[in-house]
Chains A and B, each alone.
Chain A
Amino acid sequence: MTTSTSLVYLIALPLAGAAILLLAGRRADKWGHLLGTAMSASSFGVGLYQLMLMLDRPTEQRPIGQKLFEWINVGEFKVDAGLLLDQLSICFVLLITGVGTLIHIYSISYMSHDKDRRRFFAYLNLFIAAMLLLVLGDSYLNLYVGWEGVGLASYLLIGFWNQKPAYATASKKAFVMNRIGDMGLSFAIMIAFATMGTVSFAGVQEHAHHASEAALTGMGIMLLVAAAGKSAQFPLQAWLGDAMAGPTPVSALIHAATMVTAGVYLITRSNFVFDAAPTAQLLVVIVGAITLMFGALIGTAKDDIKKALAASTMSQIGYMILAAGLGPVGYAFAIMHLLTHGFFKAGMFLGAGSVMHGMNDEVNMRKYGALRKFMPITFVTFGLGYLAILGVPPFAGFYSKDMIIETAFNAGGAKGIILGVTTLIGAAITAFYMTRVMILTFTGTKRWDDDAHPHESPWLMWLPMAVLAIGSVSSGFLLSRGDALENWLHPLFDHHAEHEAHLFEPIVVSAMALTMVAIGVAIAFVKYARQEVSSVAPENVSIFTKIARQDLMQDRFNEAVFMRPGQALTTTLVAADDAVIDGAVRGVGQVAMGSGSALRGLQNGYVRSYAAMILVGAIALIGAIWVVVQ
């Protein structure tokens, strides 16, 4: 593999930004946001430069690496701090730094009233650095560093306003649930090392087909657990809704466009594992399918605009995971949807932020309405994102999501039918809840309080939204034109197992999908545009709505199954430590002291009893002698 010496700058620049901003403290308040943005932008610049270089190289020479230094080297366990930039990671690099830079710019204005804006930019830079490490690391262990790094950044950013206890709790919840996923990644790495003696991507890829299927299945499942944690997939999805506690740009960048898609990256990156472990692959598909429905259902009931979008994110990533679980045919579509989703969802989140900015940080959509007039640019950019997520041609989502639906149907047999139908229904529900968001927010009558003075956001905020909107419109077309992305990624994946059995013609799939979308939109229209929307959430709703409002009982479930027993166990152990273990030691002490006090009684002060004791001793000796002589 060709080596490069400049990859490290991708990471080093934002990392330096973060370090400077954190160490400089308040001294950097004046210019911190500028430095942060500049660092992110320069990293984007390096990324573009690398893309150009890569385009210039012939296909087989496109991946390049850089060994920074020997990181861990013990026995057979050798891990270098090494970077790998190939066709897959460059997509992520550009998405992360590109969208990241836009969000930096947006944040300059969005956070301008926060006295801790510098710290915010420091965290953003830290996140960019960690996320780049995640996608650039050339081994699972390097990836792991970035993996936990983004978890840390996410924790810091969700809890950015941690003076509110609920936000602090949300950040902790996110970190802990991510750690469960991280544990999965640890296991995967251990399995890789124990079975293949290596943890680098190249090494595992080389040895994977020699390894036993059981090992690979185990590794695959553990990778899936990791992916589920980071990408808020079932059953580790519960943190994402709460993560909306972070400032909205964070939600856009981390909890929509980039970090939460790391799971998709991981599965795609580990294609060589999953291709050889069908059981694990099947599980991936199942998890994706469940989550896409799960998220979609939650989305229908949320009145908090950010939580509705978060549910949507969960659902869309479900699509990606599902696609990634479909094997070589699906990887490219998963990545494509990931990229287009990055644009439109980030755009919509920024739009939501813009709305909140104009509405005194109100997030309840029932208190919105008719904002179209007050925030035209936001409306347009949000609307373009809306069309994209619905999959209306020619917007971005149309290309990516239809591909996934089509691939799902093509998976073959009952599996194909089930997956296809699931994705179609998901599309309909998506259309429903997104339309609901649009209607509640931008149309209808105003329902906001009098002290709200909705206004359009300053240009620093709408400019990034506009750029992302352009992405929402065009990215799908550009990426799929001539199967551009598919061909670009093609050399990375093992295609020998590919089967080209079409259940439906693409056009049929598109038609079905569009029909479903139309149905979803129509229902939403009937339900929200045709009748008055109450500014408080109605209580007399069906049990399903209630359950959906409570995130399908996910928190209740976790609470009942993990938290309560965990707390009980902790309390018990704390008590037992004192009572049983320490108690046993104290008990021994007390026995010693007690027997001491008892024996003390022998010393009763009477000289005759002392003489008796001597006499008894003498008699005992005689007795012993008698025994000996006998």
Chain B
Amino acid sequence: MTFTAPVLSYTLLSPILILLGGALIGVLVEAFVSKALRPVVQLTLTLGTLMLSLFQVWRIRGEQSLTPAMGSLVIDGPAVLLQGSILVIAIISIFLIADTEHFTPLAAALPGSAEEREAAQAGNQVTEVYPLTLFAVSGMMIFPIASDLIMLFVALEMLSLPLYLMAGLSRRRRLASQESALKYFLLGSFASAFFLFGAAYLYGFSGSITFAGIRESVIGGSGNDVLLLIGMAFLSIGLLFKVGAVPFHSWSPDVYQGAPTPITAFMAAATKVAAFGAMLRIFYTVFANAEWSWTPIISAIAIISMLLGSLVAISQRDVKRMLAYSSIAHAGFLLSGIIALNKAGLDATIFYLFAYGVATVGGFAVVTLVRDSSGEVTDLNRWKGLGKRSPFAASAFALFLLAFAGIPLTSGFIGKFSIFSAAYENGATAVVITGVLSSAIAAFFYIRVIVLMFFTDAVEDGTAVEIPSILTRATVVISAVITLVLGIYPAPVLDFITDLAIFIR
């Protein structure tokens, strides 16, 4: 048996390799750099890595290859777009993560223990979040470009495991934070098991673990349909879990609420891009010819996601939970892009993912600003009168909410319009109508928050808005600008996406 050395095209893989390298250096930094210097070094390193990676992504735009890593990965237009989006979101999220106020000084310490107090007084910081983030980002970068089941599974776990840990790192309300980590972990593993089992059946169906092989079997119609269907269903469970679609959504409100807000922002935005990216590739290329079998089911899931997310969000009192339910509804909207199964749907979904991701990070960034003496204030009742105390924070948040609601002149509107029209083009009338209807329901609670912020008098309870640090301010401003620009003049971005977004098979 001869052993063929693997041929890797390093240029195309460079964005991922850079990230992994950066992450490994980050681990070394943890070991060898003094405690005092670590935060600065880590932040610089992480930002530098992400920027460099983004730069590389920019450089390889337009490249197409089925074999950058022996057929396990694929680089094409959508891959570049999704990777770029993930990186942009990661960069603006890093600004938030850099605010150490959110993280426990010592994750291993018992909540409220003397150890913890000492660590806090010593100025300890869990700078491990930076390498963890980089690992998660690399996983996310691989997830949408994986082209065999192994890479897909590895990427899934690679992006998930760091996130499980990071969810438990909150400085305040540590019990809740740890609980969210536990829930995320248990449910995430549970869903991974389904995913893996589904992968096994797909392998059984096609005799191949590569996407190309599975697709050929789907097209050829050889093999046992039951295996295919079960495989598809279980694989989808894993993916739908990641995007938070009903009924696989139940982790998201609890985790969104419990995790440190910067992590929530990063996770909510970037995971969605990665997971939907993978879904796009799988459903648009691998399962496209079995459309008859999955569109009704995905449509149903989209419809109940939109409705449930919107309805439950109405009665939420916590801003992070509200955004979580809103993200469930948005998962429904995005699923209509999967159902569209056409070029317009692909473009629209990518645009929507980017726009929504950016707005989400921006929204959570504002959440980090509203604090009292014991940390963040997420109880909506205490957001009353925010517009008076901090017009900057309140206006920005209002803008992001309007974007979520899909009001014209924000990116959300262009996204909704394009994704719904693509779905309608494929005959998904019911999905579009439900989407429009639930947008109306959703508008109700977004507007309620705006009312709270602007039209309700403040209660004097010590809730203050922190003077935003430069980095957080940068996050809010960048997100707001992107949200507005994509709403007012989206043509360049849309054209860019349209030109690039073509799957190669």
Residues of chain A touching chain B, judged by Cβ–Cβ distance below 8 Å, are 589, 592-593, 595-597, 599-600, 602-603, 605, 607, 609-611, 613-614, 616-618, 620-622, 624-625, 628-629
| Pairs A–B under 8 Å by Cβ, sample size 23 | A592-B314, A595-B311, A596-B311, A596-B313, A597-B315, A599-B308, A603-B253, A609-B250, A610-B187, A610-B250, A613-B248, A614-B187, A614-B190, A614-B191, A614-B194, A614-B237, A616-B247, A618-B233, A620-B247, A628-B293, A629-B225, A629-B226, A629-B229
CA distance A628 to B296 in the complex (A): 11
Nearest 8 pairs of A and B residues by beta carbon: A610-B250, A617-B247, A596-B311, A621-B233, A596-B314, A625-B229, A596-B315, A597-B315
Which B-chain residue is minimally distant from A624 (CB atoms)? B297
CA distance A602 to B236 in the complex (A): 22
Nearest chain A CB to B451 CB, angstrom units: 14
Which B-chain residue is minimally distant from A615 (CB atoms)? B190
Interface of B is mostly: helix
Whether the Cβ atoms of B187 and A611 lie closer than 8 Å is yes
Whether the Cβ atoms of B444 and A592 lie closer than 8 Å is yes
Q: Does B106 contact A (CB under 8 A)?
A: no
Whether the Cβ atoms of B253 and A614 lie closer than 8 Å is no
Name the B residues within 8 Å of A629 (CB-CB): 225-226, 229
CA distance A44 to B6 in the complex (A): 116
Which B-chain residue is minimally distant from A609 (CB atoms)? B250
Which B-chain residue is minimally distant from A605 (CB atoms)? B254
Nearest chain B CB to A305 CB, angstrom units: 63
Q: Does B481 contact A (CB under 8 A)?
A: no
Nearest chain B CB to A384 CB, angstrom units: 75
Q: Does B110 contact A (CB under 8 A)?
A: no
List CB contacts (< 8 Å) of B214-255 with chain A.
225-226, 229-230, 233-234, 236-237, 241, 247-248, 250-251, 253-254
Whether the Cβ atoms of A593 and B233 lie closer than 8 Å is no
Name the B residues within 8 Å of A621 (CB-CB): 233-234, 236-237, 297
Q: Does B186 contact A (CB under 8 A)?
A: yes
Q: Does B380 contact A (CB under 8 A)?
A: no
Which A-chain residue is minimally distant from B301 (CB atoms)? A617
Q: Does B389 contact A (CB under 8 A)?
A: no
Whether the Cβ atoms of B248 and A617 lie closer than 8 Å is yes
Which A-chain residue is minimally distant from B438 (CB atoms)? A592
Interchain CB contact (< 8 A) of A611 among B190, B236, B308:
B190
5 new A-B contacts, CB < 8 A, other than A600-B315, A607-B182, are: A596-B312, A599-B311, A614-B248, A618-B234, A621-B237
Q: Does B477 contact A (CB under 8 A)?
A: no
Interface string of B264-296 (1 = CB under 8 A from A): 000000000000000000000000000001000
Which A-chain residue is minimally distant from B441 (CB atoms)? A592
Whether the Cβ atoms of A593 and B182 lie closer than 8 Å is no
Whether the Cβ atoms of B247 and A613 lie closer than 8 Å is yes
Whether the Cβ atoms of B229 and A617 lie closer than 8 Å is no
Which A-chain residue is minimally distant from B183 (CB atoms)? A607
Name the A residues within 8 Å of B314 (CB-CB): 592-593, 596
Interchain CB contact (< 8 A) of A625 among B190, B191, B233, B251:
B233
Nearest chain B CB to A584 CB, angstrom units: 16
Name the A residues within 8 Å of B226 (CB-CB): 625, 629
Nearest chain A CB to B476 CB, angstrom units: 29
Which A-chain residue is minimally distant from B293 (CB atoms)? A628
CA distance A573 to B34 in the complex (A): 78
Nearest chain B CB to A595 CB, angstrom units: 5
Which A-chain residue is minimally distant from B226 (CB atoms)? A629
CA distance A595 to B312 in the complex (A): 8
Name the A residues within 8 Å of B248 (CB-CB): 613-614, 617
List CB contacts (< 8 Å) of B159-198 with chain A.
182-183, 186-187, 190-191, 194
Name the A residues within 8 Å of B441 (CB-CB): 592
Given A599-B311, A617-B248, A621-B297, also A607-B233 (CB < 8 A): no
Whether the Cβ atoms of A603 and B308 lie closer than 8 Å is no
Interchain CB contact (< 8 A) of A610 among B183, B225, B229, B234:
B183
Interface of A is mostly: helix
Name the A residues within 8 Å of B315 (CB-CB): 593, 596-597, 600
Name the A residues within 8 Å of B316 (CB-CB): 600
Nearest chain A CB to B236 CB, angstrom units: 8
Nearest chain A CB to B250 CB, angstrom units: 4
Nearest chain A CB to B247 CB, angstrom units: 4
Whether the Cβ atoms of B250 and A602 lie closer than 8 Å is yes
Interchain CB contact (< 8 A) of B187 among A592, A596, A602, A607:
A607
Which A-chain residue is minimally distant from B197 (CB atoms)? A618
Name the B residues within 8 Å of A628 (CB-CB): 229, 293
Nearest chain B CB to A248 CB, angstrom units: 58
Which B-chain residue is minimally distant from A589 (CB atoms)? B444
Nearest chain B CB to A593 CB, angstrom units: 5
CA distance A103 to B33 in the complex (A): 109
Name the B residues within 8 Å of A602 (CB-CB): 250
Whether the Cβ atoms of B194 and A618 lie closer than 8 Å is yes
Name the B residues within 8 Å of A622 (CB-CB): 230, 233
Name the A residues within 8 Å of B183 (CB-CB): 607, 610
Nearest chain B CB to A526 CB, angstrom units: 80
Which B-chain residue is minimally distant from A599 (CB atoms)? B312
Name the B residues within 8 Å of A616 (CB-CB): 247
CA distance A502 to B169 in the complex (A): 117
CA distance A548 to B27 in the complex (A): 109
Name the B residues within 8 Å of A603 (CB-CB): 250, 253-254, 312
Nearest chain B CB to A68 CB, angstrom units: 50
Nearest chain A CB to B243 CB, angstrom units: 13
Whether the Cβ atoms of A625 and B311 lie closer than 8 Å is no
Whether the Cβ atoms of B229 and A614 lie closer than 8 Å is no
Interface string of B445-488 (1 = CB under 8 A from A): 00000000000000000000000000000000000000000000
Name the A residues within 8 Å of B308 (CB-CB): 599
CA distance A324 to B185 in the complex (A): 99
Name the B residues within 8 Å of A607 (CB-CB): 182-183, 186-187
List CB contacts (< 8 Å) of B295-348 with chain A.
297, 308, 311-316
Most B CB atoms within 10 A — which of A596, A609, A629? A596
Which B-chain residue is minimally distant from A625 (CB atoms)? B229
Which A-chain residue is minimally distant from B185 (CB atoms)? A607
Nearest chain A CB to B460 CB, angstrom units: 29
Whether the Cβ atoms of A592 and B293 lie closer than 8 Å is no
CA distance A301 to B43 in the complex (A): 104
Whether the Cβ atoms of B194 and A611 lie closer than 8 Å is no
CA distance A149 to B187 in the complex (A): 81
List CB contacts (< 8 Å) of B361-390 with chain A.
none
Most B CB atoms within 10 A — which of A602, A621, A629? A621
CA distance A5 to B248 in the complex (A): 88
CA distance A621 to B441 in the complex (A): 28
Whether the Cβ atoms of B250 and A613 lie closer than 8 Å is yes
Name the A residues within 8 Å of B237 (CB-CB): 614, 617-618, 621
Whether the Cβ atoms of A614 and B444 lie closer than 8 Å is no
Name the B residues within 8 Å of A597 (CB-CB): 315
Nearest chain A CB to B167 CB, angstrom units: 13
Nearest chain B CB to A206 CB, angstrom units: 58
Whether the Cβ atoms of B230 and A614 lie closer than 8 Å is no
Name the A residues within 8 Å of B234 (CB-CB): 618, 621
Which A-chain residue is minimally distant from B300 (CB atoms)? A624
CA distance A622 to B297 in the complex (A): 11
Whether the Cβ atoms of A614 and B241 lie closer than 8 Å is yes
Nearest chain A CB to B379 CB, angstrom units: 16
Name the A residues within 8 Å of B247 (CB-CB): 613-614, 616-617, 620
Interchain CB contact (< 8 A) of B186 among A589, A611, A624:
A611
Name the B residues within 8 Å of A618 (CB-CB): 194, 233-234, 237
Name the B residues within 8 Å of A610 (CB-CB): 183, 187, 250-251
CA distance A564 to B176 in the complex (A): 66
Most A CB atoms within 10 A — which of B182, B229, B293? B229
Name the A residues within 8 Å of B251 (CB-CB): 610
Which A-chain residue is minimally distant from B234 (CB atoms)? A618
CA distance A268 to B264 in the complex (A): 87
CA distance A352 to B191 in the complex (A): 101
CA distance A613 to B314 in the complex (A): 22
Nearest chain A CB to B290 CB, angstrom units: 10
